[in-house]
Structure 1
């Protein structure tokens, strides 16, 4: 079991790394070369850098991830691509993407995009809180220990 992080803009990288270290799991952060960092990370953390492009990180994750791995992402589309591979997918707010909730999430995304194209406005995400971080951490531990 490895934990992959869709790294562009994820607010739970450090939390994920801390939990993974507790359970001796490897973490793979896939991110755009635009987010290259010289920051020191534990030995269980590796980076895969991809070229600029809207879906470059997503395609690389789909290529690398496998059954029994966990993916941390807020991207519904990416989640829908890896669920059939037997991957557990966790949103940064602590809820799990599943086959049961995916259709509704993709439909919601479609209608929001359609509204924006026609000049409508949609709400952005709420600010990420410490409570959100704790919910995420608890769910991540649950996924690892199941």
Structure 2
């Protein structure tokens, strides 16, 4: 659907990024893109490089690297997640990418008790990428 940033842009790195997404110190994010798969949920892809970077998980391994869940009420969702034993890496915060910014658009990365990272996201407001394409991120219409 769109690329938030790529090799031509300044890489994302530093303590704030590491804390916000739970990355190993020294991690550098070189690119991020949103991919549309049919009419269902979208897949967000990152190109990350860092010290002590492990091999990608295999289908037979436990867990996944991270997945995102859309919510209409991110604050309530994160609160319920924490009450169930999860840990938020930051409070819900404004989405930092110019293509996704909007007054109420927020994201919060959290960690499950066993280590899997989950991203809670809400995008109730128009995003800048809407000016670039007619394709839209999936959002439940119920």
User: TM-score of the superposition, structure 1-length normalised?
Assistant: 0.26
Q: Higher strand share goes to which structure? A: 2
What TM-score do you get using the length of structure 2 for normalisation? 0.26
Structure whose residues are more often helix by fraction: 1
